[in-house]
Amino acid sequence: MLRPAITIFLISLLPTRYTLAQQPVNPYSYHIQKKTTVTHGAVVSAHPLASQVGVSILRQGGNAVDAAIATQLALAVVYPAAGNIGGGGFCVAHLAKSPAATHKPGTAKTASPAGKDIAIDFREKAPAAATRDMYLDANGNPQPNLSVNGHLAAGVPGTVAGIFSEYKYARLPFAKLIQPAIDLAENGFVITAAEARDLNSSQGAFKNYNTVQPVFVKGAAWKAGDTLIQKDLAATLRRIRDQGAKGFYEGQTAQLILQEMKRGKGIITAADLKDYTAKERQPTIFPYKDYTIVTMPLPSSGEVVLRQMMKMVETQPLASYGFESVKAVHLMTEVERLAYADRAQYLGDRDFYSVPVDQLTSRAYLQTRMKEIPADKAGASKDVRAGVLSPKSEETTHLDVIDAAGNAVSITTTLNGGYGCKVVVAGAGFLLNNEMDDFSIKPGVPNMYGALGTEANAIVPGKRMLSSMTPTIVLDKGKVYLVVGTPGGTTITTSVFQTLVDILDFQMDADNAVNQPKFHHQWMPDVVYVEPGFPAATRDSLKVMGYNVAQRGSIGRTEVIRVLPGSQFQAEAVGDSRGDDTAEGY
């Protein structure tokens, strides 16, 4: 008799939505799971709690889009370094043929009978008061700290608008999708060792750049197992639950952002917030051998950089060279160099700048470019000032979702650097991005990832900054085969490229494609960066060929879902071992 009485007593202490039957996750006890094989659906994200939230939504009858939204919102709470409502990102999704899989009761919207690929751009925008030279001093010298830290570094956030654009394809009531995030913020969750380390390393910046000390600032050092409670964030999420996107872009949340801007001399205005819209764009779709690659168009690099790299290697017998053999790494590095040189010169927001996409991705152009690759020796990236690659900072985040109906969602979202510009909107509890640094603040001046740019990516009010984020889905005969993406600044596009060829050419399983060492070349600086564990023999041979090879910290945190062959739905889901990333499903 005693046991039920205690249980009832405990239930009565819990918030009303947290009945034990419904509680999807235990925020005070959870574990990291790297790999799972599923028959109903899977979610891979940077945090175990966020992945569990997503799967709980699938179990409640949500489709992949429902689960992706819930996961994205949970990440904004449990993974504050990158998960966000104060940043932006991109969503690529494949909605399967079956209308039942995507039909939301009470709406007329159905998936087309042929299935549908969608691309949602919720990248931040330059505020209306932004100017091309806003990060230069009176002598025209760059002041990079201004585009990286503090209020002036923030672009107009896009995430909440993006979530409501995604929601058109969801099925469950929005309140159900956001409630787990509200509960995690309101009641707290225990942090991992990695989160404790990240929070500790940013204490100085939080103190420096905030007008009101946020909950992330703590007297003693954070340690694994500490509980992080975010009441202000919970209140903001409740306003979004009750008022939709207006709960963020207008009303009290907008007022709190404006007050924060005033205290910190930021330039985001009420009109910037009210005018922000996410854009549903035509996804970039191109064939690769027998597969179809679906990726994000500009201002993502997917449209040009990923496509160029894939199309250039497609013509070569890559598989016969062997994974991370000298021949394979030589070819892939040279292809990366060529694509990133074009990125620096030509790419930016197409709504503002005419990018010659057709030419850059045409067969004839790529064939000509391939002729520039020297046989058996290193190419050279000359005549442009070198940038410095950031060795750390994996503070964008990616999530993959699939459901048994064949819907899949691939979302990469970011604050840019870890904890964005370090400014928490006082009273609203969320961090603002430092995405303005992704613009080219001056031609020839590298951004924090060493990327260079020109006019194409110069600051213009209302313009979206160029991004490396490349959420991608691969279709095999019209059905989802792979869901792929990663954070990692400029290494994102090369990591997605390598993951795809690892699976499609080198026939790797998802686990190896995620976890085998990666390498990266971005034209400038003229260096092949390799991860620890990269084969020493290949590295030595590359040096003999004239490559400047440098080992760096880990590259990206790639998430992959791969559908397995068979008449019944089955998939393997893998979270990157480089972080707390977790694959969940059932």
- CA 334 to chain CA centroid, Å, is 25
**Strands 549-551, 528-530: parallel, antiparallel or unpaired by DSSP?**
parallel
**Binding residue for ligand DON, selected from 366, 389, 469, 542, defined by CB under 6 A:** 469
Identify which range of 135-143, 218-226, 287-295, 463-471 contacts ligand DON by CB under 6 A: 463-471
d(CA 448, CA 479): 38
d(CA 117, CA 294): 7
Least CB distance from residue 321 to ligand DON, whole Å?
29
> Cβ(266)–Cβ(152) under 8 Å?
yes
Q: Does 396 bind ligand DON (CB under 6 A)?
A: yes
| Six-digit token string for 479 | 């059905």
| Six-digit token string for 389 | 């690659």
466: nearest Cα among 442, 488, 440: 440
Rg (alpha carbons) of the chain, rounded to whole number: 23
Least CB distance from residue 176 to ligand DON, whole Å?
30
Q: Does 468 bind ligand DON (CB under 6 A)?
A: yes
Least CB distance from residue 490 to ligand DON, whole Å?
7
Q: Does 447 bind ligand DON (CB under 6 A)?
A: no
Q: Does 485 bind ligand DON (CB under 6 A)?
A: no
- Convert 362-400 into a string of H (helix), E (strand) and C (coil): CHHHHHHHHCCCCCCCCCCCCCCCCCCCCCCCCCEEEEE
Has 7 been annotated as catalytic? no
**Binding residue for ligand DON, selected from 56, 192, 361, 467, defined by CB under 6 A:** 467
Q: Does 581 bind ligand DON (CB under 6 A)?
A: no
Burial classification of residue 40, based on how many CB atoms lie within 10 Å of its CB (0-12 exposed, 13-18 middle, 19 or more buried): middle
Residue list 199-238, contact with ligand DON (CB under 6 A): none
Least CB distance from residue 340 to ligand DON, whole Å?
12
Least CB distance from residue 554 to ligand DON, whole Å?
10
Alpha helices in 96-226 (DSSP H): 99-102, 144-148, 159-167, 174-187, 193-201, 203-209
Least CB distance from residue 359 to ligand DON, whole Å?
23
Q: Does 80 bind ligand DON (CB under 6 A)?
A: no
Residues 6+ apart with CB under 8 A from 364: none
Identify which range of 35-43, 288-296, 304-312, 390-398 contacts ligand DON by CB under 6 A: 390-398
# residues contacting ligand DON (CB under 6 A) = 15
Kindly write out the interface string for residues 131-150 of this chain, putting x where it contacts ligand DON by CB under 6 A and - elsewhere: --------------------
Q: Does 494 bind ligand DON (CB under 6 A)?
A: no
- What does the DSSP 8-state code read for residue 189? E
Half-sphere exposure of 89 (CA within 13 A, CB side): 37
Identify which range of 178-186, 374-382, 388-396, 543-551 contacts ligand DON by CB under 6 A: 388-396
Cα distances (Å, whole numbers) of residue 304 to 262, 457, 470: 39, 14, 11
Q: Does 488 bind ligand DON (CB under 6 A)?
A: yes
Give the nearer residue to ligand DON in terms of CB position, either 412 or 538.
412
Active-site residue (options: 396, 412, 414, 494): 396
Kindly write out the interface string for residues 426-445 of this chain, putting x where it contacts ligand DON by CB under 6 A and - elsewhere: ---------x--x-------
The full DSSP string for 231-247 is HHHHHHHHHHHHHTTHH
Q: Does 416 bind ligand DON (CB under 6 A)?
A: yes
Burial classification of residue 376, based on how many CB atoms lie within 10 Å of its CB (0-12 exposed, 13-18 middle, 19 or more buried): exposed
Q: Does 487 bind ligand DON (CB under 6 A)?
A: yes
Q: Does 531 bind ligand DON (CB under 6 A)?
A: no
Identify which range of 184-192, 254-262, 304-312, 466-474 contacts ligand DON by CB under 6 A: 466-474
Least CB distance from residue 252 to ligand DON, whole Å?
28
The full DSSP string for 468-532 is ----EEEEETTEEEEEEE---TTHHHHHHHHHHHHHHTS---HHHHHHS--EE--SSS--EEE-T
Q: Does 575 bind ligand DON (CB under 6 A)?
A: no
Identify which range of 285-293, 387-395, 524-532, 534-542 contacts ligand DON by CB under 6 A: 387-395
Residues annotated catalytic, as ranges: 396
Residues near ligand DON (CB under 6 A): 393-396, 414, 416, 435, 438, 467-469, 487-489, 492
